[in-house]
Every structure is written in C-alpha cells, then in structure tokens.
Amino acid sequence: MPADPVAITRDLIRCPSVTPAEGGALAYLERILGGAGFTVERVTFSEPGHDDVENLYARIGTAAPNFAFAGHTDVVPPGDEARWTHRPFAGDIADGVLYGRGAVDMKGGIGCFVAAALDYAAACGGKPKGSISLLITGDEEGVSVNGTVKLLAWAAARGETFDHCVVGEPSNSDTMADTIKIGRRGSQNGTLIVTGTQGHVAYPERADNPVRGIVALISALQAEPLDHGNEHFDPSNLEFTSVDVGNPTVNVIPGEARARFNIRFNDIHTQASLRALVESRVAKAAGERIRWQIRWEPSNADAFLTAPGPFVDVVRGAVNDVTGKVPALSTTGGTSDARFVKNYCPVVEFGLVNRTMHKVDECVATADLLTLTAIYRRMLERYFAS
C-alpha cells in the first residue's frame, strides 16, 4: 500500500508542536521513517538565552547524489481556539478538507514529502540511485537559531553532503502548481535615532526638536527607491514600522526620536552594501543640522537565488508532468529556512497553497495533499533518472 499523505498530515496536526515544543511530531516521524529503513537521528541544540530545540535528520542510501527535503514541524499558536470551526489540533476532515494548525504551514508539506520518499524508497527496494535525506526542524516559526542552521552544520561536520534540496514551504499563491520559489529576498531591521535637546514648548529657541529631524530623514529615505530590481527580483523596499518619542507630556519638546524600519532587499545588495547605502542617504539629508545614528540589528537573512537550470527544470518538469501546468518562478514573500540551506546546496521551495497559513481554521484540501505527493514522487524519479 502506498504511504498516505493525508493520514500522515492528520497525525502530525494532532501533535501540538507550537514552537519550540516537539509535541510528539518528531517521535511520530522517527517511528514511520525508521520502520521503512531510513536511518533517523534526533538532535537537540542549545543557545544561551533561547529555548532548546529538537530536530530530526533521516537518510536512506549512502551514495551520491543526495536529494534533500527540508521542513519544520513547529507551528504558530492557534490563538483563540473558540474561534475555530474545528479544534486546531484535532485533525478533523470535513467535505474533503483537513483542518488544523500547520495544515499548510507546513505539516502538510512534510506529510507529502515523507509519503513520496517512503513510496520511492519502497519501489527501489530501499536502495535509491543515490540518497534521500530529510531535514526537519522545530524552530522555523521562532528565532531560528537552534534549528536548520545548526542541523546543517551538524550534518556537515559528520561528512554529510547535499546536492540539491526542496523546502516544502507553501509556495503556491492561489492554486496548486502556480509558483516555485527559486530565491528569497533578504531581511534587515534597523532603528533610526535622532537626538535633539529637550525643553519647554514655550521656549523652542532653547530646545532642538528631534521630531523635525526624524521626519526629514524618513522623507529622504522614502524619496527614491533603493534599486529598480532585476530579472528575478522586485525592487528592494524599506518600510518604517513605528515612530516614537516616548513622550507622555504635551508641553515638553522631547530629547530623542526613534523610527524602526525593515528592509526586504534583493541580490543587488549585500547586508554591508545595503547598510552603507542607507547611511549615505541619511548623512546627505542630515547635513550638519541633524544628529543621527542607525542601530542595525543582526540578521541571518541574506538574499539568494537558485538560477534557472537543470535542477529547476527537474522541479518544474515534475509539476508539469503531474498537473499539466507550468509554474511561475518567483522570489517574493518572506524568509524561510531555505536561506540556510543555500549555503550547502542549490535549493528551491515548493509546497501547498498558502492562503490559510497562520489563520483561524487553517486547512488544506485532501486532493491537494495527494497532488503534492505525486509531484514530489515525480521529482525523485526525474532527479535520479537524470
């Protein structure tokens, strides 16, 4: 009997693995993968100031090439469970739809690539023409310091190498097979700080209001684009997300103003060149009049691109073989663990439709789970045949 992605996804949903809890999800995967001949290891990583996180690595085969699937079993909290039509960790199926937290982000993707890997391995008598690996983490929805980034380093230190990887994040926007993510924009946070001189509003000549300065610098940073994009990426964008002076009193000119911002940037920039560009624009606008600084936050989210070529053709061809559709190649959206995988091998993202992720009544059509499993199985057939 072929592995059932609907049953696997349902059973994973029933594991309440809200970040960073394992919730039984990795134990469940260890049981079914180990029983099918995969070598399975569960490893826990720690970092001062952060929760310990348990992760799973499974592999069948010892030869090259090594094709990897990657994903995460941790999920965001369900919120007010009373608002759910079906309990978030019940795994209910109604009218061909499976409900539950993680249904699309991304226990459904894991259920599908686990089912595809089990079926392909069984068809090969447990000896694929190469190797199939599964990298499954427990903190993608959190700060991402004790998950994939460390699991990859741990595997590399043991001599494991990966030739190509598919991350099973929900990549499709509206319907199955509409989008493959071949890259992601980077993400950089910062705080613009303008220092003034506090004083009484009735005596402005004795003060220096930083609000005027920060308004001028915000306007300067938004006056022109950071770039105009390129063949595979939209233009980078800088968005201010808060402006604050911390002033509860209406008759006091504040001494400082702060504005937080986030930049989603394309591969025209590195983090260093992006910071230099922003600072040069602020310095030009400030001149000698405005006292300013930018506090940059650490970021592990660089832009990357897996250029179209043979690997992308394998993935795109598998989608077309199963669905008859030719998916678009995209670099839009937020960050994912693919930003860590790209340091070890070419990586793309392809999974379910992302319309209900993180929402109340997150759900997936059972037909989509069957379709995605067939696509993953076809990817393996194409990959090892080539």
CATH topology of domain 186-296: Alpha-Beta Plaits (3.30.70)
* pLDDT, position 335: 86
pLDDT per residue as tens digits for the range 241-295: 999 999 999 999 999 999 999 999 999 999 999 999 999 999 999 999 999 999 9
Cα–Cα distance measured from residue 115 to residue 9, given in angstroms and rounded to the nearest whole number: 10
Angle of the 5-13 helix axis to the 107-123 helix axis, nearest 10? 140
Q: How far apart are CA 25 and CA 21, in angstroms?
A: 9
| The predicted structure's pLDDT at residue 231 | 95
CATH class of residue range 5-184+303-385: alpha beta
pLDDT band at 342 (very low <50, low <70, confident <90, very high): very high
Per-residue confidence band for 333, with pLDDT thresholds at 50, 70 and 90? confident
Q: Give the pLDDT mean for 308-319.
A: 98
Band the pLDDT of 386: cuts 50, 70, 90: confident
Mean pLDDT of the chain: 97
Enumerate the CATH 3.30.70.360 domain ranges in the chain, comma separated: 186-296
- Say what the pLDDT of residue 174 is: 95
pLDDT band at 300 (very low <50, low <70, confident <90, very high): confident
CA pair distance 385, 380, nearest whole angstrom:
8
Q: Which of 84, 128, 82, 108 is nearest to 25 (CA)?
A: 108
Which residue carries 């989509």 as its tokens? 368
Residue 240 is predicted with a pLDDT of 98
For residue 65 the two structure tokens come to: 């090439």
The pLDDT tens digits for 98-122 are 999 999 999 999 999 999 999 999 9
- Numbered ranges of CATH 3.40.630.10 in the chain: 5-184+303-385
Amino acid at site 263: I
Cβ within 8 Å of residue 223, ≥6 positions away: none
Tell me what pLDDT residue 169 has.
97
Task: Give backbone dihedrals phi and psi of 57, rounded to 5 degrees, phi first.
Answer: -125, 130
Q: If DSSP states are collapsed to H, E and C, what string results for the chain?
A: CCCCHHHHHHHHHCCCCECCCCCCHHHHHHHHHHCCCCEEEEEEECCCCCCCEEEEEEEECCCCCEEEEEEECCECCCCCHHHCCCCCCCCCEECCEEECCCCCCCHHHHHHHHHHHHHHHHHCCCCCCCEEEEEEECCCCCCCCCCHHHHHHHHHHCCCCCCEEEECCCCECCCCCCEEECEECEEEEEEEEEECECEECCCHHHCECHHHHHHHHHHHHCCCCCCCCCCCCCCCEEEEEEEECCCCCCCEECCEEEEEEEEEECCCCCHHHHHHHHHHHHHHHHCCCCEEEEEECCCCCCCEECCCCHHHHHHHHHHHHHHCCCCEEECCCCCCCHHHHCCCCCEEECCCECCCCCCCCCEEEHHHHHHHHHHHHHHHHHHHHC
Q: Is the pLDDT of residue 1 over 80?
A: no
Mean pLDDT of 39-65: 97
Give me the active site residues, please. 74, 140
Number of residues written out for the chain = 386
Evaluate whether 338 touches 169 at the Cβ level (below 8 Å): yes
Give the closest residue to 100 by CA, choosing from 136, 108, 168: 108
Mean pLDDT of 67-80: 97
First to last CA, the chain: 27
Asked if 211 and 163 touch (Cβ cutoff 8 Å), the reply is: no
What is the per-residue pLDDT for 119?
Answer: 97
Q: Are 320 and 55 in contact (CB under 8 A)?
A: no
CA torsion, ordered 168, 171, 176, 178, to nearest 10 deg: -140
Task: Tell me the percentage of the chain whose pLDDT exceeds 70.
Answer: 100
Residue 12 confidence (pLDDT): 98
